[in-house]
Amino acid sequence: MRRLGGETLVIATHNAGKLKEISALLAPFGIDCVSAGSLGLPEPAETGTTFVENALIKARAAAEGAGLPALADDSGLCVDALGGRPGVYTADWAERQWFEGPAGRDWYMAMGKVEGLLCELGPDTDRSCHFACVLALAWPDGESAVYEGRANGTLTWPPRGTMGFGYDPSFVPLGDTRTFAEFDPEEKHAISHRADAFAKLVAEQFGQV
Ligand code: IMP
């Protein structure tokens, strides 16, 4: 298994928030991070049909473009009764296209779309779901590694809570009665799909052999 050395790691994101969060998680292991955006690398089209494919597309494009190892993530919500949808299209389901005014993401609309489909299936429909997160590491020579994390839960309606983002107000993690949007951020980060994937990456990349 290939391990990260002392070189700089490119974080395949143009999102400053993600760069900050990932840099902080990797700093204790002596890894310096730089974003693909700050290196002027283009964002590749996410044409994969799985989280693994999309995370690898992003990590490989950044590693090849920068000539350095790169880390990318892909995540989303998978609802059992909907055959895993919205899955890799989780963000797309929030895309709002008005004839007038700015397009944008509407998370309440996206949660409502999921709820509407569950209602169509009947009142006793299974409301189980999970958030998935895949972290992909890629090296310029083509080698790669993936780490998959998940947070299991159920969907509730109406949405509750003001913290978090995306589908958090409708997601109740297994073993709790609050939605992720009612969790303190630190508490959510400790049990999230992202934390699960990072724990696996850290164990393999920086753990004892
Ligand atoms: P991406 O991995 O940045 O493409 O994100 C995919 C989408 O999944 C996001 O836009 C969110 O809507 C959703 N998502 C991923 N992680 C979470 C989470 O922790 N809470 C709520 N929504 C999430």
pLDDT tens digits for 55-85? 999 999 999 999 999 999 999 999 999 999 9
CA 99 to chain centre: 30
Q: Residue 22 C-alpha to ligand 1 middle, in angstroms?
A: 15
Side-chain-side CA neighbours of residue 24 (13 Å): 7
Residues with CB under 6 A from ligand 1: 73-77, 90-91, 131, 164-168, 180, 192
Alpha-helical (H) ranges within the chain are 16-26, 51-66, 107-120, 185-191, 193-206
Please state, for a pLDDT cut of 70, what percent of the chain lies above it. Answer: 96
- For residue 16 the two structure tokens come to 């400053």
Whether residue 3 is contained in a domain is answered as: no
In angstroms, the CA 53 to CA 60 distance is 10
pLDDT of 208 reads 61
- Residue 12 domain flag: yes
The pTM of the full predicted model, rounded to 2 decimals, is 0.93
| Overall number of domains in the chain | 1
CA of 29 to the centre of ligand 1 (A): 26
List active site positions. 74
Domain with 25, as residue range(s), is 8-206
- Is residue 2 one of the residues assigned to a domain? no
Q: Does a structural domain hold residue 157?
A: yes
pLDDT digits (tens, 9 = 90+) for 87-137: 999 999 999 876 666 668 899 999 999 999 999 999 999 999 999 999 999
Instruction: Specify if 118 maps to a domain.
Output: yes
Higher pLDDT, 6 or 175: 175
88: domain CATH number?
Answer: 3.90.950.10
- 188 assigned to some structural domain: yes
Closest CA to 78 of 90, 69, 67: 90
Is residue 1, in this structure, part of any structural domain at all? no
Q: Angle at the Cα of 189 (from 63 to 199), degrees rounded to 5?
A: 55
